[in-house]
Amino acid sequence: LAKTTQPISMDSYEGQEVNITCSHNNIATNDYITWYQQFPSQGPRFIIQGYKTKVTNEVASLFIPADRKSSTLSLPRVSLSDTAVYYCLVGFSGGYQKVTFGTGTKLQVIP
């Protein structure tokens, strides 16, 4: 399983764009990159997944450089409700694989 490294915490003001970078130097060829969001007292919630280049959905964008050794989750114009822990996961998609969550990045949005 590819190990991921991400900042422990980040602060941002409301309305700003937030970028959270995750390092995954030993990512395998078949591995996808997935980000989850977790609020207190809730289970993690899928945000976005990608393999290369850029993926965008209604919630976030995911930027993956050509070497795929890192990825950046971009949250546009954050609000207080985006305060949560964000997890970067790397693993094979298309079948079962045990995933490792790590400690995640705790994002605090400030009014």
Partner 1 sequence: GAGVSQSPRYKVAKRGQDVALRCDPISGHVSLFWYQQALGQGPEFLTYFQNEAQLDKSGLPSDRFFAERPEGSVSTLKIQRTQQEDSAVYLCASSSPGAAKETQYFGPGTRLLVL
Q: Would you tell me which residues interact with partner 1 (CB under 8 A)?
A: 32, 34, 41-46, 49, 85, 87, 93-96, 98-104
Tokens of 39: 């609020």
91 and 1 Cβ atoms separated by less than 8 Å? yes
Q: What whole-number distance in Å separates Cα of residue 47 and Cα of residue 58? A: 9
- Indicate the residue among 58 and 111 with the shorter CB distance to partner 1: 58
- Indicate the residue among 98 and 111 with the shorter CB distance to partner 1: 98
Identity of the amino acid at 48: I
The minimum distance between CB 49 and partner 1, in angstroms, equals 5
The minimum distance between CB 77 and partner 1, in angstroms, equals 25
- Indicate the residue among 15 and 81 with the shorter CB distance to partner 1: 81
Q: What whole-number distance in Å separates Cα of residue 7 and Cα of residue 62? A: 16
The minimum distance between CB 96 and partner 1, in angstroms, equals 6
